[in-house]
Structure 1
Amino acid sequence: MAEETGKADNGSKRQHDRKSAANPGPFPYARMVNKMDALDRLELQFRWGDYGIRVLRCHLASFPPGQIINFHKHSEYEFHYIAKGKGKVILVDQPHDLHEGLFYLTGPDLIHYQESDEEDPMHELCLHLDIVLLAEQRTGTGWGDELETNEAKECLTSLDRMPAIPVVDRFHAMNGFLEAYRIWEEQPAGFYTLMKQAIVQILLRTTRVFDSPEGKPGIPERDMNFHRYQLATQYIQDNESLPISLEQVAETINISPRQLQRIFRSEGQTTFRDYLEHVRLSGICSDLIHTDKPIEEIALNHGYANPNYLYPVFKGKYEVTPTVYRKLHAGDARVR
């Protein structure tokens, strides 16, 4: 009797061990179980590059043990991510075993069959998208549109090259479902934009598995010298009415004064001092023409703490005094 009891206990233990091996930890998508079709209820469509994307389904599905979904196909793209359990899929005429962590694409028009395991039934994250090339295509505007358009094209073109086999979700596309569900739960400001980003992230992480370094566009990199020159000149334009030094501007853009001076020579064919003087004198000329403010006030407003210093600097550049310059341009513009 004791021997029979021992055998029964060992059998129970083996069964428990099998279940534990199949479920090594908490189900990471448990929060989605409460309302599996929550995201399906959203009317979500958006533009990505030159493509229009409409979300038909985005949900967690739970398959009963042994459930069979007979051969069928879709005219759109349907992504299947195995979140838990086991099963089988037949893609056209090729059978494949499924287990947690795999994903595969069915569509457009790829006939397939699915079957859930009897002992360890599947949970699947499904993303079903209608993707169309829009007739009205974007033209570059200089605000990143061209980069986004190229990346969208590269991603969606790779979908059409994706082999009809299950592969490992190496770049955690499945996490995008949790992010989308969390956005639905919290409904934060920017809901639509955040939801679009979550769907795009799923697509990018999915196709990244098949990335090839050959033929990929390089990441956008800026010319740092020219960028620093732009930062420095913009800072001067914004603050020309205040005391400004080479050291102060260099510290603001995190480079040495000597490096900043070299940048002004290479990128602007000028010096820091000459550029600062040019900005200030240009502002003074504008005020002389467009306002009737006293010259001393104009000088103070453009960084000349000692107005008397303005006169020799101004005459050295324009060959006339500020007073004469104002008279010469008296008819150029209306005083404001």
Structure 2
Amino acid sequence: MGDKTAYNDRNIAFLMDGESVSVGNIVYECFHRSIPMHSHSDNSYEIHYISSGHGMVTISGEEYDTLPGTLYITGPHVKHSMVPDDKDPLSEFCIYLKLSPDGKTGRSGLSPLKLFREMSIWYGKDGYGIHALMRSLFAELGEESIGYRTVVESLIRQIIIACVRNYSVNEESSDLRGTEHSDNQYLIIEEAFLYEYATLTLPILAGRLNLSTRQTQRLLIEHYGMTFQSKKTEAKMSAAALMLGLPDKTVTEIADELGYSSVEHFSSAFKKFYGMSASKYRKKVIK
């Protein structure tokens, strides 16, 4: 696959759970350029899967240091942008979907598309084989063999279901409200951010707490007053401040230990958090 492969003229549309799903762009791109902040219209969703490379993704003001295997969904009016690493640019599969306006199917209970609609923002590690599904999708679109449109529709349905499974198939039946949380759960949270600030992800933390990712976000906001990403940034910046007080440790080593893909990403995050550059902070603490 080259730097960019795009299919935007196939007029793919189908029904799923009684709703219409129209597929706009289906794109694979290795990014050597930044994507500025933008959003999409009512009932529009993008599925993004990062197959390789590193970079910084910003969604609704939250910054994510992004690695291969990352899945994120952006729904209507969700502002997002992406800055690839110059030396190891991000490669992304992206599907743009337009759902029926009202979202009313006449069906009761849970359905994959109903749950998908709730995912106006989701970011995490894929655990349901979306990379393989994307590769199969592009192979079908490229070859255009007999019956390929039927296969393509089936693959897109499977990708939507995989997104929902990542999000949580039981989200509607279990809610944080009314759930009692033990002191042990708070200990799990605090030790995770204390020792694993470089590698911790929301799905990993949610798994340890036996909660969905949405429930975990709510717990963090209600108990700590911040989102997962904000708390992770706080933990990383606290560690960074301590490391900058060690004269033998270089800024490059600190950025690497904190899980940043480049010194530039670390420096930008540090200045945004503390209001000064890492080098200026170091001069201040080492006298």
TM bracket, shorter-chain basis? 0.5 to 0.7
Q: Deviation string for 1:218-254 (max 9, x for gaps)?
A: xxxxxxxxxxxxxxxxxxxxxxxxxxxxxxxxxxxxx
Match of 2:40 among 63, 74, 82: 74
Determine the C-alpha separation between the residues in 2 that align with 1:34 and 1:163.
28
Match of 1:186 among 133, 143, 147: 143
Q: Deviation string for 1:29-50 (max 9, x for gaps)?
A: xxx328711x323121111122
Match of 1:127 among 95, 104, 119: 95
Question: Does 1:89 pair with 2:64?
Answer: no
Q: What TM-score results when the alignment is normalised by the length of structure 1?
A: 0.46
CA contact (8 A) 1:52 1:134 kept: no
CA contact (8 A) 1:61 1:123 kept: yes
Post-superposition shift, 1:214?
A: 7.0
Q: Deviation string for 1:103-151 (max 9, x for gaps)?
A: 111121101121111221111101100011579967xxxxxxxxxx679
What is the match of residue 114 of structure 1? Answer: 82
Post-superposition shift, 1:215?
A: 6.1
Determine the C-alpha separation between the residues in 2 that align with 1:150 and 1:177.
30
Determine the C-alpha separation between the residues in 2 that align with 1:204 and 1:71.
27
Residue correspondence of structure 1 range 249-260 to structure 2 within 5 A: none
Q: What is the number of residues matched between the two proteins?
A: 171
Residue correspondence of structure 1 range 164-175 to structure 2 within 5 A: 164-175=121-132
SS in 2 for 1:42: coil
CA contact (8 A) 2:3 2:29 kept: no
What is the match of residue 161 of structure 2? Answer: 204
Question: Does 1:33 pair with 2:2?
Answer: yes
Determine the C-alpha separation between the residues in 2 that align with 1:44 and 1:102.
26
Q: Deviation string for 1:150-189 (max 9, x for gaps)?
A: 79x6222222333735201110122222112222233333
Determine the C-alpha separation between the residues in 1 that align with 2:80 and 2:36.
8
For residues 59 and 137 of structure 1, do their structure 2 counterparts lie closer, same or farther at Cα, with a shift above 3 Å needed?
Answer: same
Determine the C-alpha separation between the residues in 2 that align with 1:116 and 1:52.
34
For residues 195 and 119 of structure 1, do their structure 2 counterparts lie closer, same or farther at Cα, with a shift above 3 Å needed?
Answer: same
CA contact (8 A) 1:101 1:168 kept: yes
Determine the C-alpha separation between the residues in 2 that align with 1:111 and 1:135.
22
Determine the C-alpha separation between the residues in 1 that align with 2:12 and 2:25.
10
Determine the C-alpha separation between the residues in 2 that align with 1:101 and 1:190.
30
CA contact (8 A) 1:80 1:126 kept: yes
What is the match of residue 162 of structure 1? Answer: 119
Structure with higher strand content: 2
SS in 1 for 2:159: helix
SS in 1 for 2:86: coil
SS in 2 for 1:83: strand
SS in 1 for 2:97: strand
Determine the C-alpha separation between the residues in 1 that align with 2:126 and 2:113.
17
SS in 2 for 1:159: helix
For residues 118 and 137 of structure 1, do their structure 2 counterparts lie closer, same or farther at Cα, with a shift above 3 Å needed?
Answer: closer
Could you tell me which runs of 5 or more consecutive residues in structure 1 were left unpaired when the two chains were aligned: 1-31, 139-148, 217-336
Matched AA of 2:151? L
CA contact (8 A) 1:96 1:165 kept: no
Q: What TM-score results when the alignment is normalised by the length of structure 2?
A: 0.54
Q: Deviation string for 1:49-71 (max 9, x for gaps)?
A: 2211111111101111xx32221
For residues 176 and 84 of structure 1, do their structure 2 counterparts lie closer, same or farther at Cα, with a shift above 3 Å needed?
Answer: same
Task: Give the alignment's Cα RMSD to 1 decimal.
Answer: 2.6
Matched AA of 1:184? L
